[in-house]
Amino acid sequence: MKKFFLITILFNLTTQAQQVSTLAGSIQGYADGTGSQASLNAPRGIAIDAGGNLYFCDTQNNRIRKVTQSGIVTTIAGSTQGYADGIGTSAQFYNPIGIALDSNGNIFIADTSNNRIRKITPDGVVSTYAGSTVGDSDGIGSQVHFQSPNSVTVDKSGNVYVCDGYNQKIKKIALNGQVTTIAGSTEGYADGIGTAAKFYYPFNIFLDTHGVLYIADNGNYKIRKMTIDGTVSTVAGSTLGYQDGLASTSQFFQPIGLTVDLDGNIYVGDRFNYKIRKISPNGIVSTVAGSSQGFADGFGNTAKFNLAEALVTDQYGTLYVTDANNYRIRKITLPPLNVEDNNLSTLNMKIYPNPTHKILNIELTNMLYLFSQIVITDIRGKKLFSQYLNFKSVSLDMSNYSKGIYFVSLIGKNNTISQRFILN
């Protein structure tokens, strides 16, 4: 049996600053413009193109809008509530919620109250991609019936995946228009393969670069994932509440938005906790930003949200959030993720040598976190070591473990930090 040998312990935990600012929006309403001159009404789904332009569903304005990095908001499509295909503002939507872009610049919309998936070409032509009246049936085109589809995502081949909310299912629209159910059946909670899995009002889906589909299982207070072979499993979450720490014991209160960055971190809009949460690849849940309900820009937990509905991240790791009941698009600038070299100290935690061949030393300088839990996990999130600390310093013997990337996490009462280290 592989063992870790405790030698000594020490702590430093200083929260890295996540700066929250407002990119666009102010009071409830409808107006194009720059920054606070623009008015939105319950913005929800959001997507980003290669140039950093953001596209979002301005849900209660029944419009699809665009905001540049300089905060200039324009309307792409939609006008008054209704249902009509057409060009630009001659088209009509009814509570559009989900949005995604493909590699050709086409925009796909979950037109929720119309129970349809719509498509907007780069020229602004709006058409119906799938769906007709409310119901639940697979097929092609108007043969297909959805019940409040609320999210879409697109893979590299152009297949569109739909979160069919009140049907409790995940569906796929192939390039030929064929719609099939790939996961979910009746309301409930169960991991499993394909239709053996169960969800309770799944609300958001996101496809990562490896083809893994992540699902915000809203009514089950969990984050789920589906691998390419159709296996659905639970990534994080347990019962309703608010708790950081290990993924299996973490708590959410109606997680609704999610995205995955290039490092494999999952960011979650935790709706009624009014927070942005993060699930690291090693299975540690932490709070990125937010505190109580309200509106405030600022750092970390000094910022406030009022229903953070959807998220997207750019190539630099910056997060963008639709803050629905604040009628704004928010921006979260995250600190860089560091992998330390030998004896390199960060603001959070000092681990050395890194890379290590045998002994990993962990030092922290904030005694407030004495008696916290230290956890070592591998890159798959498997927990290898866990112990509550009652020393000032610790050294771990890693000689019995395989070469690779590992994570050390410190789980405090109100904060969690994680760092990567390499064993070679």
Q: What is the pLDDT of residue 411?
A: 77
Is-same-fold flag (19-333; 349-423)?
Answer: no
Q: What is the pLDDT of residue 370?
A: 60
Average pLDDT, the chain: 89
Alpha-carbon distance of 112 to 149, in angstroms, equals: 5
Largest Cα span, the chain: 70
Q: What is the pLDDT of residue 418?
A: 79
Token pair 């999210």 is at which residue?
151
The predicted model gives 389-416 an average pLDDT of 78
Which band of pLDDT confidence, cut at 50, 70 and 90, is reported for residue 17? low
The predicted model gives 251-279 an average pLDDT of 95
How many C-beta neighbours within 10 Å does residue 106 have?
17
Alpha-carbon distance of 179 to 340, in angstroms, equals: 47
Please state the CATH superfamily assignment of the domain spanning residues 349-423 in this structure. Macroglobulin (MG2) domain (2.60.40.1930)
The predicted model gives 353-366 an average pLDDT of 83
Q: What is the pLDDT of residue 401?
A: 87
Q: What is the pLDDT of residue 369?
A: 56
**Higher local confidence (pLDDT), 312 or 371:** 312
pLDDT at position 344 over 70? no
Please name which of 141, 51, 46, 147 lies closest in space to residue 100, comparing C-alpha atoms.
Answer: 46
Which band of pLDDT confidence, cut at 50, 70 and 90, is reported for residue 337? very low
Q: What is the pLDDT of residue 416?
A: 72
Return contacts of 386-393, CB within 8 angstroms, 24+ apart. Answer: 387/6, 389/9, 389/11, 391/6, 391/8, 391/9, 392/8, 392/9, 392/10, 392/11, 392/367, 393/8, 393/9, 393/10, 393/361, 393/362, 393/363
CATH 3.40.47.10 fits 19-333, yes or no: no
Q: What is the pLDDT of residue 1?
A: 44
Q: What is the pLDDT of residue 209?
A: 87
**Proportion of the chain above pLDDT 90, given as a percent:** 70
Alpha-carbon distance of 235 to 284, in angstroms, equals: 10
3-state secondary structure 257-301: EEEECCCCCEEEEEHHHCEEEEECCCCEEEEEECCCECCECEEHH
- Determine the 3-state secondary structure of 166 from DSSP: helix
- Least confident stretch, 5-9, 99-103, 299-303: 5-9
For 185-199, the pLDDT digits (tens) are 999 999 999 999 999
Q: What is the pLDDT of residue 388?
A: 75
**Higher local confidence (pLDDT), 379 or 336:** 379
The predicted model gives 78-95 an average pLDDT of 98
Q: How buried is 180 (Cβ within 10 angstroms: 0-12 exposed, 13-18 middle, 19+ buried)?
A: exposed
For 275-328, the pLDDT digits (tens) are 999 999 989 999 999 999 999 999 889 999 999 999 999 988 899 999 999 999
Residue ranges covered by each domain of the chain: 19-333, 349-423
The predicted model gives 255-262 an average pLDDT of 94
Residues in the chain: 424
Contacts of 316 (CB under 8 A, 6+ apart): none
Q: What is the pLDDT of residue 257?
A: 93
For 218-229, the pLDDT digits (tens) are 999 999 999 999
Antiparallel, parallel or unpaired: β 54-58 and 63-67: antiparallel
- Least confident stretch, 139-143, 171-175, 250-254: 139-143
Alpha-carbon distance of 267 to 219, in angstroms, equals: 18
Rounded to two decimals, what is the model's pTM? 0.80
Which band of pLDDT confidence, cut at 50, 70 and 90, is reported for residue 377? confident
Q: What is the pLDDT of residue 381?
A: 66
Antiparallel, parallel or unpaired: β 169-173 and 86-87: unpaired
- Least confident stretch, 84-93, 116-125, 241-250, 367-376: 367-376
Which band of pLDDT confidence, cut at 50, 70 and 90, is reported for residue 339? very low
Which band of pLDDT confidence, cut at 50, 70 and 90, is reported for residue 8? very low
